[in-house]
């Protein structure tokens, strides 16, 4: 599997529990909902009625006279649309338009993200934006400051469907929807990033079995296994060619592959996140003594040959190649790495990759920092004639994406057309989307009965059943089962301990000096881990980081937090 394909998977899976396969309408586009076998009928029949059943105006009521909405959005690369269909003219778009009697006009669509952002920036500068578009955090606040956005507070309350509200309500403390609020008013509908994108430890169980080793729990356990993998020829080829723990020069990152987040977290270190300490001070996780301790551990692991000695220069494709070729047997990656592991199994059917929630800290917990709740925002132009139409479109769109409306189940059936071809590419799901479906899979495997299951989950259920009956014989089924069932279940392990940051987002100083601060941090950490600089270089880093803008950022965050 090449990097380009994985970028598509990451955008769909890391940011959204809908799918990690770009959302085909054969059911693979749909993600977790509140439905269970016992409640699916009630949810479908009562919570959301098709538009033709509406008597009064409401979330799904069609307009008597056609309403037109102008739209600007990022396009879709590799959208699998059949010949003759385009982003601006396809079955998904027509489904939404016909349900509501709404005409959606594309003012612009640009595939490349940088080009799209440039288009949005130009539209803002010229005070000529479409009725609706999706923007990043900086653009959202720029639009709000320029008084160019419609207040959606009442529109949301009156027109958001029960499902859309359930998505946002699932985020404790309104943490997702609040990112779209300014001074208590809702000026944007944010996307939602699901729980579970932290790194698991993926390990070759067949190698553990061969070397008579147990699954690890602590950092020391992990180090012992790596040493055995490197020195004891677990693949049995008679050559000492097995690499240690794979690494990535980014060091840490939400949803990152091959990063060292779990090692830091085991020592109560949380780089790149902001917290309040016991005295109430705003603290940057990369500057704590716990982070220095974790860097010392990684430094020693590298010196001992337990971390891949070439990780500083490896590209993503290089690491993926080490996995698929059988030279690597241990790495950190999120639940959706299940699809990458299937490449290794395809090349070597004896490979048995398993995910575990380790290493644990001194209290037996696998600490993790949850994903930032939102990163993109659906905004409506101030003065738009029908702002409520945008909510209606979103409501109907998600009836289609989740296959709640039977008519939507027939759109592009079996053709692998991605959900992103719906007009509003706003990614929404429940905070605990991964965990919600695990009991369904458990019950199906036990009873072998799929009666009453919601349509959106059937393709995954069938894949899990197929792989359970004939393991590894169908690579697509195996990959889906490994990711959506085996690994997703591990994300809800009892050892998981959420560490909630005090602040997400950017401040003025971050936007001005953030690049320099990040460069200093990355270069210092890499030099310490690789042994180029002594561990005490960390102290100099903290001092410099504070003086060139870090303290200013902390003050800005304190002001924001204290004024909430």
Q: What is the CATH number of the domain that holds 414?
A: 3.40.190.10
Same domain, 287 and 186: no
**pLDDT, mean of residues 494-514:** 92
| In contact, 494 and 360? CB cutoff 8 Å | no
Same domain, 262 and 402: no
Out of 388, 421, 454, pick the residue that ends a domain.
421
Residue 8 lies in a domain: no
- Residue 485 neighbours by CB under 8 Å, 6+ apart: 438, 441, 460, 464
Residue 491 lies in a domain: no
Q: What is the pLDDT of residue 27?
A: 36
Same domain, 394 and 310: no
Same domain, 148 and 211: no
Out of 387, 421, 455, pick the residue that ends a domain.
421
Same domain, 156 and 225: no
**pLDDT, mean of residues 551-563:** 91
Same domain, 42 and 82: yes
Distance of CA 306 to the CA centre of its chain: 29
Q: What is the pLDDT of residue 28?
A: 33
Same domain, 120 and 257: no
**pLDDT, mean of residues 273-277:** 94
**pLDDT, mean of residues 374-387:** 96
In the structure, what pLDDT confidence band is assigned to residue 79 with cuts at 50, 70 and 90? confident
Decide if pLDDT at 32 tops 60: no
Residue 436 lies in a domain: no
Residue 511 lies in a domain: no
| In contact, 149 and 141? CB cutoff 8 Å | no
Nearest to 63 by CA among 27, 104, 30: 104
Decide if pLDDT at 269 tops 70: yes
Nearest to 368 by CA among 491, 202, 474: 491
Residue 461 lies in a domain: no
Nearest to 418 by CA among 72, 111, 101, 82: 82
Same domain, 153 and 101: yes
Decide if pLDDT at 450 tops 80: yes
The proportion of the chain whose per-residue pLDDT surpasses 90, expressed as a percent, equals 82
Q: What is the pLDDT of residue 564?
A: 64
**pLDDT, mean of residues 193-219:** 97
Q: What is the pLDDT of residue 52?
A: 44
Q: Domain containing 106: what range?
A: 23-194+373-421
Same domain, 206 and 89: no
Q: Which residue has the higher pLDDT, 379 or 278?
A: 379
Same domain, 251 and 313: yes
Same domain, 293 and 386: no
pTM of the model: 0.86
Same domain, 302 and 382: no
Residue 430 lies in a domain: no
The total domain count for the chain is 2
pLDDT tens string 35-67 = 333 333 333 333 444 444 444 789 999 999 999
Residue 47 lies in a domain: yes
Residue 443 lies in a domain: no
């Amino acid at each position: 599997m090449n990097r380009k394909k994985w970028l598509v998977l990451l955008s769909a899976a890391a940011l959204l529990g809908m799918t990690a396969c770009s959302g085909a309408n054969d059911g693979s586009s749909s993600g977790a909902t509140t439905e269970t076998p016992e409640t699916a009928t009630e949810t479908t029949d009562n919570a959301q009625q098709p538009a033709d059943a509406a008597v009064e105006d409401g979330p799904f009521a069609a307009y008597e006279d056609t309403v037109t909405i102008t739209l600007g959005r990022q396009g879709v690369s590799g959208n699998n649309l059949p010949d003759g269909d385009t982003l601006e003219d396809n079955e998904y778009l027509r489904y939404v338009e016909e349900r509501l009697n709404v005409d959606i006009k594309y003012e612009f669509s640009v595939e490349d993200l940088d080009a799209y952002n440039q288009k949005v920036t130009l539209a803002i500068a010229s005070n000529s934006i479409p009725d609706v578009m999706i923007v990043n955090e900086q653009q959202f606040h720029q639009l709000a400051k320029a008084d160019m956005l419609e207040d959606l507070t009442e529109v949301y309350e009156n027109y958001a469907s029960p499902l859309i509200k359930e998505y946002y309500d699932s985020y404790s403390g309104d943490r997702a929807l609040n990112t779209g609020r300014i001074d208590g008013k809702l000026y944007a509908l944010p996307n939602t990033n699901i729980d579970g994108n932290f790194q698991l430890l993926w390990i070759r169980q067949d190698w553990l079995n061969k070397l008579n080793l147990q699954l690890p729990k602590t950092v020391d356990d992990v180090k012992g296994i790596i040493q055995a993998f490197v020195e004891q020829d677990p693949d049995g080829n008679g050559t000492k060619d097995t690499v240690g723990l794979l690494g990535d020069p980014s060091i840490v990152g939400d949803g990152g592959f091959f990063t060292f987040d779990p090692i830091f977290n085991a020592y109560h270190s949380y780089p790149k996140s902001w917290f309040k300490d016991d005295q109430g001070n705003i603290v940057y996780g990369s500057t704590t003594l716990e982070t220095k301790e974790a860097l010392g551990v990684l430094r020693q692991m590298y010196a001992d040959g337990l971390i891949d000695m070439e990780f500083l220069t490896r590209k993503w494709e290089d690491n993926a190649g080490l996995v698929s070729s059988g030279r690597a047997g241990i790495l950190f990656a999120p639940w959706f790495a299940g699809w990458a592991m299937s490449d290794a199994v395809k090349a070597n059917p004896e490979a048995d990759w398993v995910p575990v929630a380790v290493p644990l800290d001194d209290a037996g917990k696998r600490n993790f920092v949850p994903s930032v709740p939102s990163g993109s925002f659906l905004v409506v132009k101030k003065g738009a004639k029908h702002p409520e139409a945008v909510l209606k479109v979103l409501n109907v769109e998600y009836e289609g994406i989740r296959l709640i409306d039977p008519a939507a189940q027939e759109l592009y059936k079996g053709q692998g057309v991605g959900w992103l071809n719906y007009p509003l590419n706003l990614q929404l799901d429940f905070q605990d989307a991964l965990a919600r479906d695990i009991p369904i899979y458990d019950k199906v495997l036990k009873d072998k009965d799929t009666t009453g299951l919601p349509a959106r989950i059937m393709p995954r259920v069938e894949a899990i059943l197929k792989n359970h009956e004939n393991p590894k014989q169908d690579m697509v089924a195996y990959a889906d089962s490994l990711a959506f069932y085996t690994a997703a279940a591990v994300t809800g392990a009892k050892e998981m301990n959420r560490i909630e940051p005090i602040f997400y987002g950017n401040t003025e100083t971050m936007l001005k000096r953030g690049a320099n601060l990040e460069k200093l941090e990355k270069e210092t950490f890499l030099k310490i881990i690789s042994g180029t600089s002594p561990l005490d270089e960390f102290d100099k880093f903290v001092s410099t980081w504070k003086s060139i803008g870090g303290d200013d950022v902390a003050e800005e965050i304190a002001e924001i937090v204290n004024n909430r």
